[in-house]
């Protein structure tokens, strides 16, 4: 993390979000909780990330991680061509505090055990992370829009599940 300097938050968020974008089953809580912690630190104005020793000591299966990287590489190469420093106010230190709050909300949603509910917020976090890493406010903006859409999608899924539960309960009760 020391080598990443001012890009550490973005890099860690990107690394943690990619498995959920692709998706890799069973990782949403394991990656979401550290993202909540990172987002809270961004919102608090920390200059660099801090993670508990236990989280730093955690590792992924090497073969599984390389598989994720292999699947992500073509996507990353296409996205990388569009990254460039622009609209710096949206990716600067002041904006980073507000982005931290957005990351916390999205990471909490990502951590919930909702079927197909972790890809949209993970994608939004990945866009925000890319924007932070490259000081690209356009990617940050796209991430925020994607985040709003992710919240709407998950809310619709939860509403639908709630309505289905009520309908089932009414059928059972009579």
pLDDT tens string 70-111: 777 777 777 777 777 788 888 778 889 999 999 999 999 999
Beta-ladder partners of 136: 86
Domain that holds residue 83: 5-173
Residue 140 contacts residue 131 (beta carbons within 8 Å): yes
pLDDT at 140: 93
The band of 27, judged by pLDDT with boundaries at 50, 70 and 90, is confident
What pLDDT does residue 121 have? 95
Q: Which residues contact 115 (CB under 8 A, 6 or more apart)?
A: 157
20 closest CA partner among 138, 102, 129: 129
pLDDT at 146: 97
Total domains present in the chain: 1
The model carries a pTM of 0.80
CB 169, CB 124: distance < 8 Å = no
Give the model's pLDDT for residue 42: 92
**Average pLDDT score over residue span 57-78:** 71
How many angstroms separate the CA atoms of 104 and 125, rounded? 10
**Residue pair 28/82 in contact by the 8 Å Cβ criterion:** no
Q: How many CB atoms lie within 10 A of CB 115?
A: 7
């Amino acid at each position: 993390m020391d080598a990443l300097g001012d890009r550490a938050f973005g890099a860690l968020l990107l690394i943690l979000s990619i498995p959920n974008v692709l998706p890799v089953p069973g990782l949403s809580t394991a990656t979401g909780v550290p993202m909540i912690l990172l987002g809270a630190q961004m919102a608090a104005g920390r200059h660099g990330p801090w993670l508990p020793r236990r989280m730093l000591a955690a590792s992924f299966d090497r073969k599984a991680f390389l598989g994720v990287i292999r699947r992500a590489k073509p996507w990353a190469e296409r996205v990388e061509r569009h990254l460039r420093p622009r609209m710096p106010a949206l990716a600067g230190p002041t904006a980073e505090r507000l982005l931290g709050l957005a990351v916390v909300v999205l990471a909490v949603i990502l951590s919930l055990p909702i079927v197909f509910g972790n890809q949209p917020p993970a994608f939004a976090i990945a866009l925000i992370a890319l924007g932070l890493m490259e000081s690209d406010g356009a990617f940050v903006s796209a991430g925020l829009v994607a985040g709003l859409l992710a919240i709407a999608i998950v809310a619709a899924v939860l509403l639908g599940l709630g309505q289905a539960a009520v309908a089932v309960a009414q059928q059972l009760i009579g």
